[in-house]
Structure 1
Amino acid sequence: MYHPTVAKLTYRAVLGRRRAAILFILPGLLLLISIAVRAFQGADDQVANDLLAGFAIATMVPLVGVIAGTGSIGPEIDDGSIVYLLAKPVKRHTIICTKLIVAIAVTMAFSAIPTLIAGFILNGNGQQIAIAYTVAALFGSIAYSAMFLLLGTVSRHAVIIGLIYALVWEGIFGSLVSGARTLSVQQWSLALAEKIAGEGFVGSAVGLPLAVVLLSVVTVGATWYAGQKLRVLKLAGEE
């Protein structure tokens, strides 16, 4: 389910100059803010919690996921170069799984690792906050990558749709409408963080068992459906 050549091409596409520059902005900003906060306020568990929840999990992870997930396949479909890849004797689901692995790896590298570092800078992992939010970022990276990879497969406007989901649905509706929070990768990820750090610091609208189920269903379902759409795209090209 992994093809080295496809992976190499995907890494090259996702980490191209323009996308790489964007990918470095949010993690860099998180680390700069963390250093400034620690320098001026010292170690504070609540401040660390608020910054990691409000910036790292709510903003950085989904946005990096949008860039990596859609960028792993969207540009190839838009410019038609995906046809050359589909002409190779590689199974369509192998292509999707390989691209998903790349998207997950990039999202984790540019979101989970900075989250861990920021957490240690802010309060030295007091109350297990750094570890808790790193775990949330890791599992959030998987679900976001699968979702946005699917979007890149089915729509030419994947980036816009992804931004709407991340910023409008999870950010605005998620804070105003309780029902919307249940359908939020952010909340599912926070349920994992809550298990580690405790309810006193992390609050999730979804219980842990349901969160694990939803993360699994979305990841597997999005990956499978993306493979099906890619197969249909191949058949359309042959007709």
Structure 2
Amino acid sequence: MYDPTVARLTYRALLGRRRAAILFGLPALLLAIAIAVRLLTGADDQVAATVLGGFSLATMVPLIGVIAGTGAIGPEIDDGSIVYLLAKPLKRSTIILTKLIVAIAVTMAFSAVPTFVAGMILNANGQQIAVAYTVAALVASIVYSALFLLLGTISRHAVVFGLVYALVWESLFGSLVPGARTLSVQQWALALAERIGAEGAIAADVGLPTAVALLAGVTVAATWYAGQKLRTLTLAGEE
């Protein structure tokens, strides 16, 4: 269910010059913020949670997920080069799963690792905050990658829709409208962080059992539907 050639081509596409600038830029900004905050405020657990929750989990992780998830397949569909890949004797599920694995790996590398480093800078993992938000970033990376990979298979405007979700729904509505938080990947991931962190250090609006069910369900459903859309695309191309 994993093809090295597809993976290599996908990595090459994702780590091209334009995307790489954003992929490296966001973690660099997080680390710069963490250093500045530590110098100005010292080691403060509440400040660390605010920075990691407000910038890393709410903004950086979904944005990197948009870049990696949509970039793993969207450009190939847009320019028609996906036809050459589909002509290979590969199962469509293998193509989707390989691209998903690559998207997840890229999102984790550029979001979870910087989150942990920033957490150590901010308060040296006081109250397990750095570890908790790193785990949240790892889990959120999986779901965002699946969702945005799906978007890349169904829309030519996947990046736009992804940015709207990441910046408007997750960052704005997810923080201001209580009802919207239940449908927020950020809040589902925060439920895991809340369990790992010290008592009272992190708060989530979704219970852990619900969060785990939604994280798994959305990931599986998005991956399955992306595979179905790719099969439809194949049939259309053959016709």
The normalised TM-score by structure 2 is 0.98
Partner residue, 1:4? 4
Partner residue, 1:75? 75
CA–CA distance in structure 1, aligned partners of residues 199 and 179 of structure 2: 20
Partner residue, 2:112? 112
Contact 2:69 2:147 in 1 (8 A): yes
Secondary structure of residue in 1 paired with 2:213: helix
* Deviation at residue 198 of structure 1 after TM alignment: 4.0
Partner residue, 1:222? 222
* Deviation at residue 171 of structure 1 after TM alignment: 1.7
CA–CA distance in structure 1, aligned partners of residues 117 and 133 of structure 2: 11
Contact 2:73 2:153 in 1 (8 A): yes
Partner residue, 2:205? 205
Partner residue, 2:55? 55
CA–CA distance in structure 1, aligned partners of residues 44 and 30 of structure 2: 16
CA–CA distance in structure 1, aligned partners of residues 169 and 70 of structure 2: 18
Unaligned 5+ runs, structure 1: none
In the TM superposition, what are the counterparts of 1:75-114 in structure 2 within 5 Å?
Answer: 75-114=75-114
CA–CA distance in structure 2, aligned partners of residues 134 and 68 of structure 1: 18
Worse-matched range after superposition: 151-160 or 190-199: 190-199
Worse-matched range after superposition: 67-76 or 170-179: 170-179
From the superposition, tell whether residues 199 and 170 of structure 1 become closer, same or farther in structure 2 (CA, over 3 Å).
farther
CA–CA distance in structure 2, aligned partners of residues 117 and 174 of structure 1: 25
Does residue 25 of the first structure (1) align with residue 25 of the second (2)?
yes
CA–CA distance in structure 2, aligned partners of residues 199 and 9 of structure 1: 44
Partner residue, 1:136? 136
Contact 2:135 2:193 in 1 (8 A): yes
* Deviation at residue 176 of structure 1 after TM alignment: 2.6
* Deviation at residue 175 of structure 1 after TM alignment: 2.3
Letter matched to residue 139 of structure 1? V
Contact 2:128 2:198 in 1 (8 A): no
CA–CA distance in structure 2, aligned partners of residues 61 and 206 of structure 1: 19
Partner residue, 1:234? 234
CA–CA distance in structure 2, aligned partners of residues 140 and 85 of structure 1: 29
Partner residue, 2:195? 195
Does residue 169 of the first structure (1) align with residue 169 of the second (2)?
yes
Partner residue, 1:41? 41
Secondary structure of residue in 2 paired with 1:90: coil
Contact 2:191 2:203 in 1 (8 A): yes
CA–CA distance in structure 1, aligned partners of residues 179 and 2 of structure 2: 37
From the superposition, tell whether residues 199 and 205 of structure 1 become closer, same or farther in structure 2 (CA, over 3 Å).
farther
Unaligned 5+ runs, structure 2: none
Equivalent pairs counted in the alignment come to 239
The normalised TM-score by structure 1 is 0.98
CA–CA distance in structure 1, aligned partners of residues 121 and 215 of structure 2: 29
* Deviation at residue 199 of structure 1 after TM alignment: 5.0
Secondary structure of residue in 2 paired with 1:202: coil
* Deviation at residue 183 of structure 1 after TM alignment: 0.5
